[in-house]
Structure 1
Amino acid sequence: MTEVLAHPPALPLLRFARGALARLRRAVDGVLILLLTAMIVIVLAQVVARYGFNRSIAGADEAATFAQIWMVLLGAGYAMRQRLHVSIELVVERLPVLAARLLLIPVAGLCLWFLWVVFQGGLLLMQVGAWQTSPGLQVPMDIPYAMIPAGAAYFALEAALAFGAAILGLEKVTTGGGVRVD
């Protein structure tokens, strides 16, 4: 009598990929927390300096703005991971499961193509930004612009994983609508 394994042993490459993905996600979570913390501290310090000491902190507004932009662009991938993006599932919900999965293939392709265009545009913007400095912080603008391709790449990774799991039947095709509370 042969015993059927519930989970076959993972290939070393698959185990490495899963570990790398887990480390990347932890790093993204940590960076998002740091960006939010920095934004709160910077804005709070600026408010105290302006209203408490009648002074302004040079570059504080710009630093908070850069932190917010980085947080939004990186947070888009986080939202994709958590399935928090708005989606219209009216058609997909009414299709048989196989047809819904097949419909996700061109949808995923269009989403990934759009993120590729954003990635390429971000690289071009970084090239232009390398010649400019920000007015408040005097940092090269390619540093703040770097989040555009980085955010697009992370979003594309999470989108490919989410769409791939739904297309392959590893996850439900639809989220069931409404707001997740789990």
Structure 2
Amino acid sequence: MHRTYRILNKFIESFLVIIFGLLVLDVVWQVVSRYVIGKSSSFTEEFARFALIWLTVLGAAYINGQEEGHLSMDFLLSKLPKKKRLKRQRIIQIIMALFAFVVMIVGGGNLVYTTLTLGQISPALNIPLGFVYAIVPISGALIIFFSIYHFRRTFNTTSDEH
């Protein structure tokens, strides 16, 4: 499982860098086309919006996968004895996995299904909106995988650093 974790993290990290690079190029092109050429491109604003959605949602899954990477208030947690702290961390991972399942996989999957069924198409890029929203259940599955990974790690930890 650790090998899969490392490969998945590296892939997501590379994919986020690509999306961010495309977002930067898109915004630069928007500025150049508007102020240098004098005619704004029609697709740039929509692409920037969709890229930002993917960056945000996939970035949240990526941060969840990092060791102690997600934003948390752990002052009280760090004051607990190791055994109680590990138990609380397991509970947190279970809650995060449940949230990801209910909200992101079930809710996000329903959003993708509905937009694809209704045939909603983006106006400028002319792509199905279901493809744009597909990142929500994908990220939900990643969060569940990372939660399971971290949950299992709490049983194997030997250091007092978590």
Q: CA deviation at 1:167?
A: 4.5
Q: CA deviation at 1:102?
A: 1.6
1:68 and 2:56 matched = no
1:103 and 2:103 matched = no
8 Å CA contact retained: 1:93, 1:100: yes
Select which of 127, 132, 137 maps to 2:120: 132
Question: Pairwise mapping of residues 25-174 of structure 1 onto structure 2 (< 5 A)?
Answer: 25-82=9-66, 83-117=68-102, 118-130=104-116, 131-170=119-158, 172=160, 174=162
Residue identity over aligned pairs, in percent, reads: 25
Residue 155 to residue 135, structure 1, CA distance change in 2 (3 Å): same
Q: CA RMSD in A?
A: 1.8
Q: CA deviation at 1:170?
A: 5.0
Q: What one-letter code is carried by the residue in structure 2 that aligns with 1:35?
A: I
8 Å CA contact retained: 1:104, 1:163: yes
Q: CA deviation at 1:80?
A: 2.1
- Aligned partners of 1:128, 1:30: CA distance in 2, in Å? 30
Q: Deviations over 1:68-97 (max 9, x none)?
A: 111111111221233222112133222211
TM-score, length-scaled by structure 2 = 0.87
TM-score, length-scaled by structure 1 = 0.78
Q: What one-letter code is carried by the residue in structure 2 that aligns with 1:145?
A: Y
Q: CA deviation at 1:172?
A: 4.8
Name which one, 1 or 2, has greater alpha-carbon Rg.
Answer: 1
Partner SS state of residue 39, structure 2: coil
8 Å CA contact retained: 2:57, 2:136: yes
Unaligned runs of 5+ in 1: 1-16, 175-182
Q: CA deviation at 1:23?
A: 2.7
Q: CA deviation at 1:137?
A: 1.0
8 Å CA contact retained: 2:94, 2:147: no
- Aligned partners of 1:160, 1:49: CA distance in 2, in Å? 47
Partner SS state of residue 111, structure 1: helix
8 Å CA contact retained: 1:80, 1:155: yes
Q: CA deviation at 1:106?
A: 2.2
Q: CA deviation at 1:22?
A: 3.0
Partner SS state of residue 136, structure 1: coil
Q: CA deviation at 1:159?
A: 2.7
Residue 45 to residue 173, structure 1, CA distance change in 2 (3 Å): same
- Aligned partners of 2:80, 2:8: CA distance in 1, in Å? 35
